[in-house]
Amino acid sequence: MKFSIILPTYNRAELFLKRAIDSVVRQSYKDWELIIVDNNSTDSTKDLVGSYSGNNIRLYSIQNEGNIAKSRNLGISKAKGEFIAFLDSDDYWRADKLEKCISILKNNPGYDGVCHAEYWIDATRCQQIRKYGPERYFNYKQLLVRGNSVSLSAMIVNRDNIITVKSFSENREMITAEDYDLWIKLAKNNTEIFFTNEPLGYYQIHEDSESSNISRNTKAIIYVIESHLKDQKKILNKALANCWKNTGKQFYLNCLNYESYRSYLKSLKYNCMNIKIYLLILTTLVPAKFYKYIVNKKND
């Protein structure tokens, strides 16, 4: 069983790229190919990749114009493996990740892929385990109503399933949410994903989730939701209400209380009967830094 690992990158040679590549090279399971798709980096990316010996690492160049879906789709088109594994250049894996996924697939026939938990790490190297799924939420309706329940670098999927749903959308309106759209398409096509709570990788948290980034991602998510539910108003309203609720939580955790408050109000616009939203609005009166302090003390 061969894995094709798709790793898009842009000017990450001096930061995270070597760490990501090393985590692949050190895999205990050796039947893999690493396809690195470089968006015409101006740093030492080409030299870094060239320093690795072996013909199972290939580098392709692309000008994706800020649309990373194009990079991932190029990688998929070059893939020879039965399964596609995704790895972002700032993330990395445990050395037994592929071996564990192979074991899960062999012991659970009928599944088309695996999604594992991850360690989320911040700039201080603080770690917390983030679990995805569970399996009952990886279906067409639940993904749309509840939101994304998958992490890209934690996912492996049968290549044929991805090709069947035409891979990642390159619609520019979906930029930052193209993976969410792919999961929805896969779920609609009855793709079965096994979810394990064992953390097999590391997700890098960046300290740049400012208001503009959160707003841009929310806009992309809404576009994805509306493109799938344009003729189902009742479900659409429920999905949009939940989307704005999730956005409000994200703003709050980034200490943007006013933006959080405004997002919760937008959620009520689509579902004014949700009592939880009114309670969340009250939380915006509490400084997020104080809330984080209380949570951290509780977890100590």
- % the chain with pLDDT above 90: 85
Q: Using alpha carbons, select from 247, 250, 287, 288 the residue that is nearest to residue 265.
A: 247
Mean pLDDT, residues 202-210 taken together: 72
Q: Tokens representing 181?
A: 């759209």
Mean pLDDT for all residues in the chain:
93
Domain locations in the chain? 3-204, 211-299
Q: Is residue 115 within 8 Å of 131, Cβ to Cβ?
A: no
SS3 state of residue 148: coil
Residue 65: its pLDDT value, please?
94
Please determine, for residue 227, whether its predicted confidence score (pLDDT) is greater than 80.
yes
Mean pLDDT, residues 58-87 taken together: 97
Mean pLDDT, residues 63-83 taken together: 97
Mean pLDDT, residues 109-133 taken together: 88
Letter string b/e over residues 133-146, b meaning 16 or more CB atoms within 10 A of that residue's CB: beeebbebbebbbe
Peptide bond into 134 cis (omega under 30): yes
- DSSP H helical ranges for the chain: 17-25, 45-50, 68-78, 97-107, 140-146, 159-164, 178-188, 211-229, 233-253, 257-270, 275-283, 288-299
Mean pLDDT, residues 144-168 taken together: 97
Q: Is residue 101 within 8 Å of 156, Cβ to Cβ?
A: yes
CATH architecture for residues 3-204? Alpha-Beta Complex (3.90)
Residue 14: its pLDDT value, please?
82
147, 266, 289, 299 from 128: Cα distances, Å: 21, 30, 18, 11
- DSSP states along 208-248: ---HHHHHHHHHHHHHHHHHHHTT-HHHHHHHHHHHHHHHH
- DSSP states along 61-78: E---TT-HHHHHHHHHHH
- How many CB atoms lie under 10 A from the CB of residue 173? 14
The fold for domain 211-299 equals 1.25.40
Please determine, for residue 209, whether its predicted confidence score (pLDDT) is greater than 50.
no
pLDDT in tens, 179-193: 999 999 999 999 999
